[in-house]
Amino acid sequence: MAQIRCEDLTLGYEGRNVIEHLNFEVNAGDYLCIVGENGAGKSTLMKALLGLKQPSAGRVIFGDGLTKNGVGYLPQQTQVQKDFPATVEEIVRTGVLGRGSRFLPFYTAKERAYADAQMERMGITGFRRRCYRELSGGQQQRVLLARALCAAEKMILLDEPVAGLDPKVTQEMYDLIASLNGEGVTVIMVSHDIAAAVHYASHILHVSPLHMFFGTKEAYLNTEIGRVFTGSRSDAKEGNKKNA
Residue 107 confidence (pLDDT): 86
Domain ranges in the chain are 1-66+154-244, 76-153
Which numeric CATH code is attached to 1-66+154-244? Answer: 3.40.50.300
What is the C-alpha separation between 201 and 42, in angstroms, rounded?
16
Residue 236 confidence (pLDDT): 39
Residue 237 confidence (pLDDT): 42
Residue 14 confidence (pLDDT): 76
- Binned at pLDDT 50, 70 and 90, residue 16 comes out as confident
pTM: 0.87
Lowest mean pLDDT among 66-80, 83-97, 124-138: 66-80
Residue 118 confidence (pLDDT): 94
Supply angle C-alpha 31, 33, 37, rounded to 5. 175
Given a contact cutoff of 8 angstroms between Cβ atoms, the answer to whether 96 and 151 are in contact is yes
Phi/psi of residue 63, nearest 5 degrees = -150, -175
31-44: burial string, b at 16+ Cβ within 10 Å, e else = bbbbbbeeebbbbb
Question: 181-237, pLDDT tens digit by residue?
Answer: 999 999 999 998 999 999 999 999 999 877 889 999 999 999 998 998 888 654 434
Q: Which value, to the nearest 10 degrees, does the dihedral of the CA atoms of residues 37, 41, 42, 43 take?
A: 130
pLDDT of 71 strictly over 80? yes
Helix (H, G, I), strand (E, B) or coil at 175: helix
Across the range 89-96, mean pLDDT stands at 92
Question: 130-172, pLDDT tens digit by residue?
Answer: 999 999 999 999 999 999 999 887 899 999 999 888 999 999 9
Of residues 60 and 237, more confidence is placed in: 60
